[in-house]
Structure 1
Amino acid sequence: MTVREIRVFGDPVLRTKADPVDPASPATAALVQDLLDTVQVPGRAGVAACQIGTAQAAFSFLVDGRLGYVLNPRIDEVRGEPELVDEGCLSVPDLGFPTPRHPWCRVIGVDLDGAELVLEGEGLMAQMLQHEMAHLDGKLYLQALERGTRAVAMEAVRNAPWY
């Protein structure tokens, strides 16, 4: 089991758009295993590849007891007007802010065999899907915050002991 270190705010890999992966590659299989191992630390809902240091289009999740991963994902559909939900991020430790998220989301990607994989849901699943997809675009949830909240969040980041 390889639990990888989570990269934190300021690391350039977190601002890098993810490259597609080859599902058939042994390196991709190793990445998936590291993602699955890393997301199983208690308190985690999702881990994007950039958070463990590689700008590859993959993330793992553990939501409501369901463990999984997706490669080369894209958002297929969101439903509902964005609502403010409390959100945090492993790459911005110990902080959380109300973040606008659609209440339902569907992501389509592939598994290690190249077969289509559809992930969809509401609540925490929808929030996680949108959060991890933003990571793959090189964005942190802080960028999705409303203007006033973002100013407060950035001040909190600057004052955080890990910054």
Structure 2
Amino acid sequence: MALSSDFRPGSFVFALCALMVSALWVRESLRINTLGIEWGGPRLFPLAISVLTLINTLLIVVLESRGFYRYMRGTSLRGIIEFKWKEIATTVVLLILVVLYAVVIKSVGFVLATVIITLYSSLVFKAKLIDAVMVSLIISIGLTFLFKIVLRVPLPEGILGW
């Protein structure tokens, strides 16, 4: 049985993961010390952004779950087993890669880590290899220029030293 056109399993799994991350972000924002200030203070901006993110991801989960419900309602147990696992696996690998990016960026460096994640992301979206390489290099060099030179933000240099 083919999936209905309004259900995308990868989007549904990503939405659920984003909901969990945004809920953790709200929790961490609530732990910021207010420094005795009743309104505003250092907690206001992170809390406002994290609550807006939580609301948006909750909306995305609701919209994606409608397609999931329609799919499951008209599907037998055999249809559930014949699920499109490739799309979910691609999404899970991308999420793992994002976590690895955050973990290895200090040791590998911003430029190399950004090239790797943007290259994989481009290939997931079925870009040609040469286009994916060019886009990942342009994004990596462009972000490095923006943050390091224009905004003067120190970036992790890693093993390459730049």
Sort the TM-score into its range (normalised by shorter chain): under 0.3
Query: As a proportion of its length, which structure holds more helix?
Result: 2
Structure 2 length-normalised TM: 0.25
Structure 1 length-normalised TM: 0.25
Rg: which structure is higher?
Answer: 2
Query: As a proportion of its length, which structure holds more strand?
Result: 1
